[in-house]
Amino acid sequence: MKKVIGWWFGTTDRKLLNKDGRKIVIGKTHKVRGEIIPCKHGLHLSEKVIDALEYAPGPVVYRVVGSGIIIPDDLLDKYVCSERKYIAGGIDVSETLRLFARNCALDVIHLWNPPDIVVKYLKTGDESIRAAAQVAARDGAWAGAQTAAWSAVWAADQAMAQVVARAGSWDAVRAEAQTAVKAAAWAVAWDVAKNKQNRRLTAMISKLL
């Protein structure tokens, strides 16, 4: 494999992590020396943006090309390379991820009878009703726990609760998106749901780039 095109998330200071500190610039290529080891030493990327999100230390997304020494990890959801070029991006996509999470939650809204305020929040993202939507979502899910689909309902509620919590930290934003994707997968095969959500997230981020 001569190169691999993919996605990588960085932090808002737009510098490499792990005490490296080199500045990330579109069009620039970073290189590392020494033995390339997945998760330990090298420059990482994922072919699917939804896989890159799993490892994201921050909300700034890049379209990248890996080259030089390229080693896939055991799970095949990322690669580690000796060289990584940044070809697009450098954009904070926090708000896009919140919208993505709400859309994923709406995918499973049919699994229970949601209060109107929950549906309204998920469709609009209106912060003025966030707290009320959170309470209604939790109460509604517990009421639905007596049905045969209680597991799916619970999963859907977890996604909604994460979305409406909207904490300010990056960890919370990433958790919103990841939880929503997992909730959407309860009703169908995981691979199908994940591929669908990857296409959605890729389209949303590609518009920004």
pLDDT bin (cut points 50, 70, 90) of residue 121 is confident
Whether 99 and 189 share a structural domain: yes
Whether 86 and 27 share a structural domain: yes
CA distances from 101 to 18, 67, 94, 162, 180 (A): 29, 32, 11, 9, 5
Whether 17 and 34 share a structural domain: yes
Q: pTM of the predicted model, to two decimals? A: 0.80
pLDDT bin (cut points 50, 70, 90) of residue 167 is very low
Q: Which residue has the higher pLDDT, 130 or 88?
A: 88
Express each pLDDT in 19-35 by its tens digit: 899 999 999 999 999 99
Whether 109 and 184 share a structural domain: yes
Boundary residue ending a domain (59, 92, 125): 92
Mean pLDDT of 60-73: 96
Whether 80 and 147 share a structural domain: no
Mean pLDDT of 170-179: 68
Whether 102 and 200 share a structural domain: yes
Mean pLDDT of 91-116: 82
b/e burial code for range 51-70 (CB count within 10 A of at least 16 → b)? bbbbbbebbbbbbbbbbbeb
> Which structural domain, as residue segments, surrounds residue 28?
3-92
pLDDT-wise least confident of 6-15, 33-42, 134-143, 162-171:
162-171
- The number of distinct structural domains making up the chain is 2
pLDDT bin (cut points 50, 70, 90) of residue 166 is very low
Whether 61 and 112 share a structural domain: no
